[in-house]
Amino acid sequence: LCEKPLALNHPEAMAVTEAALANDVFLMEAFMYRCHPQTAKLVALLRQGAIGEVRLIQASFSFQAYLDVKGRLFSQELGGGGILDVGCYCTSMARLIAGAAVGKDFEEPVELKATAHIGDLSRVDEYAVASLRFPGGILAQLATGVHLNLENVVRIFGSEGRIVVPDPWIPGSSNGRTSILLHRGGEQQPEEITIESERGLYSIEADTVAANIDNDNRQARPPAMTWDDTLGNMRTLDRWRQSIGLLYDSERPDAQPLTVSKRPLAVRQDAKMKYGEVVGIDKPVARIVIGADNQGWMPHAAIMFDDYFERGGNCFDTAYIYGGGAPERLLGSWIKNRNVRDKVVIIGKGVHTPFDRPEYMAPQLAQTLDRLQTDYVDLYFAHRDNTEVPVDEWLDAFNQQLEAGRVRAFGGSNWSLERIQAANEYAARNDRTGFAAVSNNFSLARMLAPVWDGCLASSDAESRAWLHKTQLPLFAWSSQARGFFTDRGDPENRSDEELVRSWYSEDNFLRRARAGELAQKMGVLPISIALAYVLSQPFPTFALVGPRVLSETRTSLEALEVALTAKQMRWLNLEE
């Protein structure tokens, strides 16, 4: 039972829940009000439609504390401020109410805007407000603080009335009796719904844990606060702080020399990563490669990269064009903080359209190296081909960077295999170094239309035959078809227009169904079958994955333990 909030931010909370899962222990965030029967009654009223459609939620929790910048309430070092201390109650309540209104356990806001007073001395939010928008037109107004007295109350306004909860956070603290005020329609006098309990608030919470700690659902679905609920709440708190520009000193890119466990970074003894080789790179290369984009900010990137490294991963994919350089900077800061440059393989990419000409390679690579805080990348890809440029000009540019020591090996991303073969034939004739690898799309699902302009796939039979013959390593992007083999790829789910455009077809749905059937027999997830298909080819493959949360990394790496036969692979790909 862990005091709220579970961690400083969502990334750290992910690490906590993953540790609980790995070690098979009970974990519940201690929002005591969630265990009290008053909260259960409130949820029941909303689900019964007592006030019609919920339209507006108002929640406040604040108090006036003595300003002590070294105490936990106002200390930057200790994660002080109102948002984390008591604003977390407001976000959890708003998400609970928005969910109850539509029959869910909770709901996530689709929009959040906020403002705050950040103290000159404390440098934390001494009081703050936020406006949230939930699906279905539900709005919320939240207010919190540690240096301001507010009316700590919850009000819910619906199409047919309103509910007031005078004592939402510490119900029954005086005499065990609390109440909810229900105003139906335009009635001025409310119906008072009384809730009584012989036990104190914290006794109820402790008894709730004791009654459930040995249950089968004690892990991810503990009573009162599930892990998904906790992680969603932490994500909302991060958004609130980001909206007001509050970053704790410990979250800055140059302030994270240790992992969240406060132990030096090291590969776990139970790591099951598999490795391959690339000519020119003097380190083994992890068969599953993690993308450095989409990691957002340093706390998230550090948690994701640490976990991947601890699981035996050592290969990181990034590109000059991603995020205006932010992913390269994050990756570079993490590598420097952890002092692991000699232990990792960096894949860089440059000269993307419209700068897809050899003369742009040197200046872009120089900027990439500066962002990464290193003097070389292990493997450098031309991100796009320009077929108007002869292959000998590309090879000369690559070899210049190779001879200067700025790259160890190079290749083409979204290059046709014909162009790569022509380039390597030129290199062989002229005593030059040729392409060491190719990075095209490759997955069990057939890419119907390019995900982005200029993208190429090499999943067809002819390309597979060429790769088998040449044994040129393939770094497969979108190796999991961008989530097509998860719930996201359900034929009835068409919310992701890019997924629909690039992957939805009758033959792919049949592949998806077969992956699901085989996954059930083997006791793994369908996504593991799809990724194992990529890793089991008769030529060197490295699967690029883009996990956004730790659970996606964990489930992706499960593919390493899936052994597919040639017959199973033909069946999965509709060849039998």
32-53 confidence digits (pLDDT tens): 999 999 999 999 999 999 999 9
Instruction: Return the pLDDT at 153.
Output: 97
How many beta carbons lie within 10 A of that of residue 221, not counting itself? 16
Maximum separation of any 2 CA atoms in the chain, in Å: 93
Query: Tokens in use for 158?
Result: 């619906």
DSSP code of 66? -
Residues 184-223 have pLDDT tens digits of 987 778 999 999 988 999 999 999 999 988 887 666 678 8
Instruction: Return the pLDDT at 464.
Output: 96
The band of 172, judged by pLDDT with boundaries at 50, 70 and 90, is confident
Contact residues for 44 (Cβ-Cβ < 8 A; gap 6+): none
Count Cβ neighbours within 10 Å for each residue of 112-139 and write b for 16 or more, e otherwise.
bebebeebeebbbbbbbbbebebeeebb
Instruction: Return the pLDDT at 295.
Output: 82
CA-CA distance, 332 to 326, in Å (whole number)? 10
Find the mean pLDDT for residues 16-27. 93
Give me the percent of the chain exceeding a pLDDT of 70. Answer: 99
Residues 507-519 have pLDDT tens digits of 999 999 999 999 9
Q: How many Cα atoms are found within 13 Å in the side-chain-facing hemisphere of 51?
A: 29
Q: Pick the residue with more confidence: 187 or 470?
A: 470
Ramachandran bin of 481, using left for φ above 0, alpha for ψ from -120 to 50, beta for the remaining angles: left
Query: Tokens in use for 283?
Result: 């380190």
CA-CA distance, 403 to 473, in Å (whole number)? 22
Instruction: Return the pLDDT at 127.
Output: 98
Contact 223, 29 (CB under 8 A): no
Find the mean pLDDT for residues 167-182. 89
Q: Is 409 helix (H, G, I), strand (E, B) or coil?
A: strand
Instruction: Return the pLDDT at 223.
Output: 85
Query: Tokens in use for 78?
Result: 């200790």
DSSP code of 562? P
Average pLDDT, the chain: 95
Instruction: Return the pLDDT at 216.
Output: 73
CA-CA distance, 375 to 341, in Å (whole number)? 10
Contact 191, 184 (CB under 8 A): yes
CA-CA distance, 55 to 101, in Å (whole number)? 9
Pairing type for strands 138-145 and 154-158 reads unpaired
CA-CA distance, 345 to 313, in Å (whole number)? 9
Contact residues for 181 (Cβ-Cβ < 8 A; gap 6+): 163, 164, 165, 166, 190, 191, 192, 193
Question: N- to C-terminal Cα distance for the chain?
Answer: 52
Instruction: Return the pLDDT at 304.
Output: 96
399: pLDDT strictly greater than 80:
yes
Pairing type for strands 29-30 and 377-382 reads unpaired
Contact residues for 33 (Cβ-Cβ < 8 A; gap 6+): 39, 89, 93, 168, 169, 170, 171, 201
Pairing type for strands 111-118 and 541-545 reads unpaired
Query: Tokens in use for 52?
Result: 């019609």
Residues 73-130 have pLDDT tens digits of 999 999 999 999 999 999 999 999 999 999 999 999 999 999 999 999 999 999 999 9
How many beta carbons lie within 10 A of that of residue 176, not counting itself? 14
Contact 376, 406 (CB under 8 A): yes
| pTM listed for this prediction | 0.93
Query: Tokens in use for 98?
Result: 């928005």
Q: How many Cα atoms are found within 13 Å in the side-chain-facing hemisphere of 288?
A: 28
- Looking up tokens 């139906």, which residue turns up? 184
